[in-house]
Amino acid sequence: MSDKIDLYSDRGVLLKSDVDLSAVSPLKNAAMQRLISLTKRTVAVNLAGVEGALKTGKVAGGRRQIKGRELNYDVVANAGALAEKIKTLLQVAPGDDTNVQILGGGKQLLVQVPTARVNAASEFVVGLTGAASATVEALIQQFKVGIVEAPMVHASVWGEYPQTVGMNGGNVASVLNIPQNDEGLGFALRNVMANHLAMITKRNAMNAAALASIYEQIGEMEMGNAMGIFERHQLLGMAYQGLNANNMVYETVKANGKTGTIGTVVQSIVGKALEDKVIKAGKKLPSGYVMYEANDVSKWNAYAAAGVLAATMVNCGSLRGAQAVSSTLLYFNDIIEKETALPGCDFGRVMGTAVGFSFFSHSIYGGGGPGVFNGNHVVTRHSRGFAIPCVAAAVALDAGTQMFTPEMTSGLVGAIYGEIKEFREPIVSVAEAV
């Protein structure tokens, strides 16, 4: 891979120039590797939720409440002592990378299990299970919980587990879903809903798209879709769409932001591709219609990927609503294919994804807003990493139009993971690690 790119921030500021494409690969970039590690190690513990569950007897989610089993423990007030106990329990060796931070005045804990525990596990759930079990043990020690009361403490932390594997109603959360919910091999990092991504990045649309793109493309590598010539193909798409390579997304949005439409973004991208000699005019039909040809198919895909994100930000940004993202994914690609006679982003997979997505997010079915979707969802899994970054950006730009808002579904996850720079500012973090 001899490609060179310039990396720009979400504000259009040059961060690094003349960067080898391979330097932003998850296989080499230290910031991405740290992001993967922290994703598996970092867990949110909701101490305020634990306290409320114990005081009311409402555990395991739904309408479940066990009268007569209420426990009046001042969990939040004892956050400092509990944090120390949890760290001691999780620590493998003195001075290792175990980390427990108190947030929100004691209402939440950021817990990072040590790397040694992750290395000694076959699955990423060790962060979730380690934090949950340490929290239960710390509560038992701190409040001298007896054998009769201990099950309620367990339920307040673990939720419905082990009756169900999803920890429904629990007060420990990871950005990763449980393995049983993955659609297939390699989907774990694609199983992060767009609302989470928006809240983690503090509703910064470009950083939300970047975090989504990194997760999606790591997933593509993990599931075997980025081998051989496809490695360059996927990395180019991630660089231009997710990491704002050559400032393409930023400049396109800026040029079309005030009065632009999906169609004008198509014009910008096609014009840029012609200027950069990524595509060229080919056969001209009797009608005058010109069929373009790609000099570099993978780079054309990268330009289209940047374009569909820019179109999303222009369209959903002007609407202040995420619901238009599926139609933007559809019609940007439909128009660009008619304009050039070349395949749209991801060889039509983004456009195909958008058809089902429109139906399931807010059409006749209306099962949920765009924010609850992810790259593992049966409706949106089909694109190879180029659809969900647009969904994350759209959700970040949404002004509260969704039935399931990011604040409702992802407040705890956003508060915890948003404290870590690699999650909150992925574009800058990746550039700094080049």
Instruction: Determine how many CB atoms are found less than 10 A away from the CB of residue 367.
Output: 12
Are the C-beta atoms of 246 and 310 separated by less than 8 Å? no
Instruction: Determine how many CB atoms are found less than 10 A away from the CB of residue 295.
Output: 13
Helix axes of 126-142 and 79-90: crossing angle, nearest 10 degrees? 130
Are the C-beta atoms of 196 and 39 separated by less than 8 Å? no
Catalytic residues: 365
DSSP character for 238?
I
In the structure encoding, which two tokens stand for residue 260, read together?
A: 């632009």
Are the C-beta atoms of 32 and 433 separated by less than 8 Å? yes
Are the C-beta atoms of 210 and 422 separated by less than 8 Å? no
d(CA 47, CA 66): 20
Q: Where are the beta strands (DSSP E) in 154-297?
A: 172-173, 279-284, 290-294
Helix axes of 248-256 and 262-275: crossing angle, nearest 10 degrees? 130
In the structure encoding, which two tokens stand for residue 197, read together?
A: 């991504």
In the structure encoding, which two tokens stand for residue 267, read together?
A: 């014009």
Q: Residue 102 CA to chain centroid, in angstroms?
A: 24
SS3 293: strand
Q: What is the CA radius of gyration of the chain?
A: 23
